[in-house]
């Protein structure tokens, strides 16, 4: 399995290539969408791809916030379809992240309420959801590009793992062959 430096190098090379092609042909005027794609691609490639299912550099990159990925790391078998599926991997991580952020917001709002700042946690939470949904609706192309970047980086991670696994045994065979001659 390729290590974190290989995954990072592949992520940077891929996003540089995609950006090079994009800015060369400029198929549309949505610069924000291109930036969203690049941002979520780098974020997912560096800190939110398949290896969150183990104690990896990706997992540790979250620092103290890695606590939100602890259930994922413990429950998801390493390199299973849940974390390393081409589509299911990214989709499940995106849903997991949205759920984790939602829980954190709800806990924070209710916690502040319990500390005596009564501003109606139900109303605040519902308002946040409404604003987020409206922002996604108003900037649907950027939102779609951001989602595509996140998903593509996850798929590229899995592809790199597959290529790495395919190359490694043949290297081992070559070494054994050399040592017997």
Residues forming contacts to Zn ion in the complex (CB under 5 A) are 50-51, 161
Closest distance of CB 113 from Zn ion, Å: 41
From residue 56, alpha-carbon distances to 78, 89, 172 in Å are 11, 16, 24
Is the Cβ of residue 15 or residue 155 nearer to Zn ion in the bound state?
155
Is the Cβ of residue 60 or residue 175 nearer to Zn ion in the bound state?
60
Is the Cβ of residue 3 or residue 111 nearer to Zn ion in the bound state?
3
Sign of the alpha-carbon dihedral angle for 99, 101, 105, 108: positive
Is the Cβ of residue 26 or residue 165 nearer to Zn ion in the bound state?
165
Residue with the shortest CB distance to Zn ion: 50
Closest distance of CB 92 from Zn ion, Å: 14
Residues 6+ apart with CB under 8 A from 31: none
Residues 89-94: contacts with CB under 8 Å, at least 24 apart: 89/49, 89/50, 89/154, 89/155, 89/157, 89/158, 90/44, 90/150, 90/151, 90/153, 90/154, 90/155, 91/151, 93/44, 93/48, 93/49, 93/52, 93/150, 93/154, 94/147, 94/150, 94/151
Closest distance of CB 163 from Zn ion, Å: 11
Closest distance of CB 71 from Zn ion, Å: 18
Backbone phi and psi for residue 27, each to the nearest 5 degrees, phi listed first = -70, -20
Closest distance of CB 10 from Zn ion, Å: 11
Is the Cβ of residue 106 or residue 162 nearer to Zn ion in the bound state?
162
């Amino acid at each position: 399995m390729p290590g974190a430096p290989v995954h990072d190098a592949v992520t940077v090379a891929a996003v540089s290539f995609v950006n090079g092609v994009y800015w060369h042909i400029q198929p549309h005027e949505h610069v924000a969408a291109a930036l969203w794609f690049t941002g979520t691609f780098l974020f997912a490639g560096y800190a939110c791809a398949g290896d969150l299912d183990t104690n990896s550099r990706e997992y540790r990159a979250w620092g103290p916030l890695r606590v939100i990925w602890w259930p994922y790391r413990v429950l998801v078998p390493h390199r299973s379809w849940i974390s390393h599926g081409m589509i299911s991997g990214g989709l499940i991580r995106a849903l997991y992240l949205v759920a984790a952020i939602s829980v954190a917001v709800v806990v924070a709002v209710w916690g502040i309420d319990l500390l005596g700042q009564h501003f109606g946690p139900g109303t605040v939470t519902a308002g946040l959801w409404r604003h987020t949904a409206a922002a996604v609706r108003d900037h649907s192309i950027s939102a779609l590009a951001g989602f595509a970047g996140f998903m593509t980086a996850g798929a590229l991670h899995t592809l790199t793992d597959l290529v790495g696994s395919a190359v490694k045994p043949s290297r081992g065979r070559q070494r054994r062959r050399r040592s017997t001659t």
